[in-house]
Structure 1
Amino acid sequence: MEDKKADIFNCGKELFSSKGFKDTNVSDITKMAGMAVGTFYNYYSSKEKLFIEIYLKENKKLKRSIMESIDLDGDPVKVAKEAITLNLKGMNTNPILREWYNRDLFSKLEKEFYQEGGIAGVYELMNSSTAELIKKWKVEKKIRNDLDDAFILSLFNSVPYIEIHKEEIGICHFPQIIDYLVEFIMKGLTDFQK
């Protein structure tokens, strides 16, 4: 039974990557997997549920890759800027993750995402690694100690959401806006002058 679920997952991932969420339907997935449409519903209640499961797995893989690729002992401002840059690049180059920024799908996917506890799943790895990094930076006196760790984590987690509104903000300035926001946040965290 787990093989069938894995087949559905893998075929769904391939089709969502090549055709996109909107242009992929359950019958495409089951045809590729060599099974009846009804079999799909033994494992997933909807195309959205499958997509969110794939999305969460892809996002965790991206976050893990980011945390493994950056020098966490570096300057906090540079570490944060590099992590955010890699995250945004990864989100925009992965066709599954890029669907998050599709305005037509966002509200529908966001609803499914939160119903499935997605925010906890996506940030589980990143938050645990980032929380450890925040504690380390505090011990090393690289960032302010007077701010709650959860608040600092929320600052970091808020930056990628800004990309959803880049049209309203102004696409021509958008990459610089993210860069400066991260820099301003980090300078605020590393500024010990009161």
Structure 2
Amino acid sequence: MEDKKVDIFNCGKELFSEKGFKDTNVSDITKRAKIAVGTFYNYYESKEKLFIEIYLKENENLKRSIMGSIDLDGDPLQVVKEAITLNLNGMNSNPILKEWYNRELFSKLEKEFYQEGGIVGIYDLMNSSTAELIRKWKAEKKIRNDLDDGLILSLFNSVPYIEIHKEEIGVCNFPQVTDYLVEFIMKGLTEFQK
């Protein structure tokens, strides 16, 4: 039975990547998985639930890749800038993760997204690694010791959210806004010693 769920997941992932969420329907997924439509509903309540599960897994894989590819012993400003840049590039290059910027879709899926662990699920891996890094930086006196680790995590986690509003910010200014925001956060965390 688990094999059918894996098949549905993999076929859904392929189709969402090829056609996008909106243009993929349950019958497309079941045809590719070679199962009956009713069988799909034994495993997933809806196309939305399947998409959220795939989205969360793709995002987890991206975060794991990012944390494994950056030099965590580098300058804190450069480490954070690199992590955020890799995250934004990864989101934009993955057709499933790119759906995050489809406002129509995510306004529809937002409730389910949060019910399925949404932001908590996405950031668990990154937060545990980042929390460890924050403790290391504090011990090495590279960042402020007077701020709660959770607050610092929230500052880092807030940066990717501004991309949802890049049209309001101004697409032409958006990359610089992101860079400066990261720089200002990190200067606020590091320049206290100067």
TM-score (normalizing by structure 2): 0.98
Work out the CA distance in 1 between the residues paired with 2:68 and 2:193: 32
Work out the CA distance in 2 between the residues paired with 1:49 and 1:134: 34
Instruction: Give 1:1-194 correspondences, 5 Å limit.
Output: 1-193=1-193
**Which sections of structure 2, spanning at least 5 residues, go unmatched?**
none
Aligned-residue identity in percent: 86
| Matched AA of 1:21 | F
| Matched AA of 2:163 | E
Deviations 1:22-49 (A, max 9, x none): 0000000000000100000000001010
**Following TM superposition, by how much is the alpha carbon of 1:104 offset from its aligned partner in structure 2, in angstroms?**
1.4
Q: SS at the partner of 2:42?
A: coil
Contact 1:100 1:109 in 2 (8 A): no
Work out the CA distance in 2 between the residues paired with 1:33 and 1:147: 50
Aligned length: 194
Deviations 1:131-167 (A, max 9, x none): 0000000000000000000000000000000000000
After TM superposition, the structure 1 stretch with the greater mean CA deviation from structure 2, 99-108 or 146-155, is 99-108
Runs of 4+ in 1 over 3 A off after TM superposition: none
Work out the CA distance in 2 between the residues paired with 1:121 and 1:4: 24
| Matched AA of 1:50 | L
**Following TM superposition, by how much is the alpha carbon of 1:193 offset from its aligned partner in structure 2, in angstroms?**
4.9
| Matched AA of 1:147 | L
| Matched AA of 2:178 | I
**Which sections of structure 1, spanning at least 5 residues, go unmatched?**
none
**Following TM superposition, by how much is the alpha carbon of 1:108 offset from its aligned partner in structure 2, in angstroms?**
1.3
